[in-house]
Structure 1
Amino acid sequence: MDSSTGERAGLLESAPPLQSERADPLPIRKPSEQHQLPEKPLVVIEPSRGWSPVNLRDLWVYRELLYFLAWRDLKVRYKQTVIGIAWVVMQPLLSTLVFTLFLGKLARVPSDGIPYALFAYAGLLPWTFYSSSLNNSGNSIVGNAHLITKVYFPRIIIPAAAVAGRIVDFAIAFVILVGMMFLYGVPFTLETLMLVPLVLLLTLFALGTGMWISALNVKYRDIGIALPVLIQLWMFVSPVLYPASLVPARWRMLYDLNPLVGLIENFRAALFGLPFNWRALVLSTVFTFAMLIYSAYAFRRMEREFADVV
């Protein structure tokens, strides 16, 4: 071995050991640590504190979502239909035609001196608005499960949007009622202004019952199945196709406890100049606000479980 070879061997022996580019290797995590969720969620839905049943600030912040959901409901409902939004007036018109033939002509149901076709349509108009609002808002939370489980927003907006969409239907169908009143020569009076608070009360009552039913329907799916049957039965115990004066006097106090009696009966009275049933209207007003407040509290306390159950 020559001298140069010996020098290279000495240099190799005295050189420091080779190291990898990463001095500190990555720590090995256990499988349970790799998939561990954050300690606290980003948003926690809690029941309201104090006397406020809803967070009004959140509702104002998400007001555009209310408009979007209501508009989406209208577009989806009449998408790819032949006559489109004309279906809004077809339902009460066709129902009026059938009931006028069988109840007005054959059964001779009294109508307080008003032509039965006009009498029936004036009762079916608020009833159709309420029943469709209740049916759609009652199933709204279950029908929007994909939104509930993905993003946070005030859940009360969903049943509220279902009711808001039916207000548009009511306004369009009301134009037909105005045309029928001109056709039958029924004039408008100052009492017609009572329609404004009556429609507002009807909307609040639909919102209150819709919130409550929608929250119950998430946990008890029997509600959604039984709801159409209950709505149909409710129609026949309300003065939709017959006047409230047809009910015997001894049953009137019990009959007036139905909130829709004061709303529908006085809706007709405001249109046709009939006497107002103030007792039924007061009972309907008290029941409407009591139902609205209770439903808001119940909905707020149950909404934290929607994402887990829906």
Structure 2
Amino acid sequence: MTQHPALSDPEYSTPGTSRGLISGFQHRYLLSLLLKKGVITRYYGSALGWAWSYIRPLAQFFMYYVVIGILLGVSRGVEYFPVYLFSGIIMVNLFSETFRSATDSIVGNRALIQKVYLPRELFPLANVGGAIIHFAPQAVVLFLISVLNGWHFEWIQPVAFICAVLIVVLFGLGLGLFFGALNVLYRDSKNFVDLILMFATWTSPVLYPFIKVKDRAPEWIYNIYMSNPLTAAVELSHGVFWAPIASGAERPEGIFIYAAIAFGIAIFALIIGQLVFRKLEGKFAQNL
């Protein structure tokens, strides 16, 4: 029996095979189509459209500023508290949107997954790309506010900002792959995601300075707290936008060591998420 020429072609691959996240980046055209679809349809039919990318974080900011900053008096102890608050909020929002959108990506694309095969990792990757695109306007607004308040450039700032974004995106994507795969089998996985996101803002120094934890918690708890990827990313963000304009800014000692640990935790979460995703993706179509 003669073998079909395609079977001996080095470019030929059996349908259904995937190399995980690498396959997602290898199919850049499909990834760009999914990304474009997500961005275009996000506010489809909305009167305000992309303005919601500004309205939501600003509404969140004013709520926290009034309640935490003014009523509870936290703003009296933190110089330029609005900048401090907003530079933390944008990182938490990036994590929340990355984590939630990656978790919902498989179930949300059930119609496409049931009809045709393409690397399943394309869906969470496209959703995470959309989260980064909608994070950008918030970062630009924060940068402009910092500049108006006397922000000055140092070479370490862009490095710290890139590190903060990488930590948040990798950690959120890793958790999103894990819970996104479980969400296909057990739809109440979204409830666990909601619980994690509910605690995310309060377990990182967004609404309060890190020094309050350092002064009150045992050293080993403080070290765990600072090694939390979201905490490290928020403090890096503070160092980029808030610390240059606040003369009395108190920064954590060894922040880049904590950031390195947080980066390692984010990579570990990504590996575990990818392994679980690969383990369960073969049954996505029938379980959807």
Residue of 81, 86, 101 corresponding to 1:116: 81
Residue of 178, 197, 218 corresponding to 1:212: 178
Q: Is the 8 A contact 1:111 1:119 kept in 2?
A: no
Quote the RMSD (CA, aligned, Å): 2.1
Q: Which residue of 1 aligns with 2:169?
A: 203
Q: Which amino acid aligns with 1:114?
A: E
Asked if residue 73 in structure 1 is aligned to residue 42 in structure 2, the reply is no
2: CA distance, partners of 1:203 / 1:77: 19
Where does structure 1 differ by over 6 angstroms across 4 or more consecutive aligned residues?
none
Compute the displacement of 1:149 (Å): 0.9
Asked if residue 168 in structure 1 is aligned to residue 146 in structure 2, the reply is no
Q: Is the 8 A contact 1:111 1:242 kept in 2?
A: no
Q: Which residue of 1 aligns with 2:111?
A: 146
Q: Which residue of 2 aligns with 1:300?
A: 278
Compute the displacement of 1:221 (Å): 0.7
1: CA distance, partners of 2:172 / 2:202: 18
Q: Which amino acid aligns with 2:234?
A: I
Asked if residue 258 in structure 1 is aligned to residue 228 in structure 2, the reply is yes
Taking only the aligned residue pairs, the percentage that are identical comes to 29
Compute the displacement of 1:55 (Å): 6.5
Aligned pair in 2 of structure 1 residues 260, 221: CA closer, same or farther (>3 Å)?
Answer: same
1: CA distance, partners of 2:282 / 2:41: 28
Asked if residue 64 in structure 1 is aligned to residue 35 in structure 2, the reply is no
2: CA distance, partners of 1:111 / 1:163: 37
Compute the displacement of 1:141 (Å): 0.5
Q: TM-score normalised to the size of structure 2?
A: 0.84
Q: Is the 8 A contact 1:142 1:218 kept in 2?
A: yes
Aligned pair in 2 of structure 1 residues 191, 257: CA closer, same or farther (>3 Å)?
Answer: closer
1: CA distance, partners of 2:235 / 2:26: 38
Q: Which residue of 1 aligns with 2:49?
A: 84
Q: Is the 8 A contact 1:257 1:283 kept in 2?
A: yes
Residue deviations 1:181-229 (CA, integer Å, cap 9, x gap): 1232333332312212221222222211111110011111111234223
| Stretch moving more, 93-102 or 148-157 | 93-102
Residue deviations 1:78-126 (CA, integer Å, cap 9, x gap): 1121221011111111111111111111211258743111111100011
Aligned pair in 2 of structure 1 residues 55, 118: CA closer, same or farther (>3 Å)?
Answer: closer
Q: Which runs of 5+ in 1 are unaligned?
A: 1-41
Q: Equivalent residues in 2 for 1:22-37 (5 A)?
A: none
Q: TM-score normalised to the size of structure 1?
A: 0.78
Compute the displacement of 1:257 (Å): 3.9
